[in-house]
Amino acid sequence: MSFKVVVPASSANLGPGFDSMAIALSRYMTVTVEAGAGESSNAQQGELSDGRDMVRYAMDYLAESVGQRLPEASVRSRSDIPVARGMGSSAAALMAGMLAGNRLLGGPLGEQELLRLASHIEGHADNLAAALYGGAVLAVPVVSGHLTVRIPINMDLSAVVLIPNAIGFTTDARAVVPERMDRSDAVYNASRCALLVHALSSGDPALLTEAMKDRWHQPYRAALYSYMDSIMGAAVSAGAFGASLSGSGPTLLALVDPRTSDAVSNAMRDAAHQQELDCSTEILAIDTSGARTLTVRG
């Protein structure tokens, strides 16, 4: 038995949706599994701070959780999702490992159970849900785990990402975010989360500029990413519907009409150069398929 698991990148928060909203993007991790062989490799392993193979870790975690032993298999991982940039690289690896392990074990768990196990490792489910289901998602913490809902996207939408060459760690970005927020800020964010869901599902892009504003995490993370506000402002001025920090950073995300993507990309890059920021920009599609498992035929 040979198969591939393909999992997209993702951008979490989208501004106000801290730890609860994400969107899938067209960069991918691919894990190729060949049962009965024992040689494995992970191209990303050396890029992680602790060198841990998150795909294998997820596979082993799944097997232990269901009380089974994984059969011998070759597991080869390749990814074009940049590590430690706020684009869901760890979520993609965890989801790929969960899906690969589940397939090897004969499918003992459904998607929601796999998401629940992966969120135990990741700590939150926003990136994981986007990686699994594709499109835009809500991942709402509930007693049993997470209630996940896909948000319809009823507009032509692309993403422009500005990816700094310097890495950023989630632990550092979380450390600067306060545990509590003022009531006025809570109302501000709650109303914009609702507006963001409405804007995407109703197909009203004019609302996205306001809907993607945030008072919870981005004002504090600006201390880590001094370039953030000026580049996001340049994106909106060049025609982006809205812009935000991608996950915990350092990548920035702009949601755009595909026809304006080049202009927004150029504006973001020019603003970055003014900040002397070493980076690259890329225009990505919104991945609407999510994770998929493909049989490899010899």
Domain ranges in the chain? 2-150+287-295, 158-285
Question: Which CATH number does 158-285 carry?
Answer: 3.30.70.890
* Confidence (pLDDT) at 40: 57
Q: Quick one: pLDDT band at residue 36, thresholds 50, 70, 90? A: confident
Q: Quick one: pLDDT band at residue 44, thresholds 50, 70, 90? A: low
CA distances from residue 279 to 25, 98, 227, 241, 273 in whole angstroms, order as listed: 19, 32, 11, 22, 9
2-150+287-295 and 158-285 agree in CATH topology = no
The architecture that CATH gives domain 2-150+287-295 is 2-Layer Sandwich (3.30)
**Rg, the chain, Cα only:** 19
Query: Between 295 and 240, whose confidence is greater?
Result: 240
* Confidence (pLDDT) at 43: 53
CB 85 within 8 A of CB 250: yes
**What number is the average pLDDT over the span 137-141?**
93
Q: Quick one: pLDDT band at residue 49, thresholds 50, 70, 90? A: very low
Q: Is 193's pLDDT higher than 70?
A: yes
Lowest-confidence pick of 82-91, 143-152, 277-286: 143-152
* Confidence (pLDDT) at 45: 45
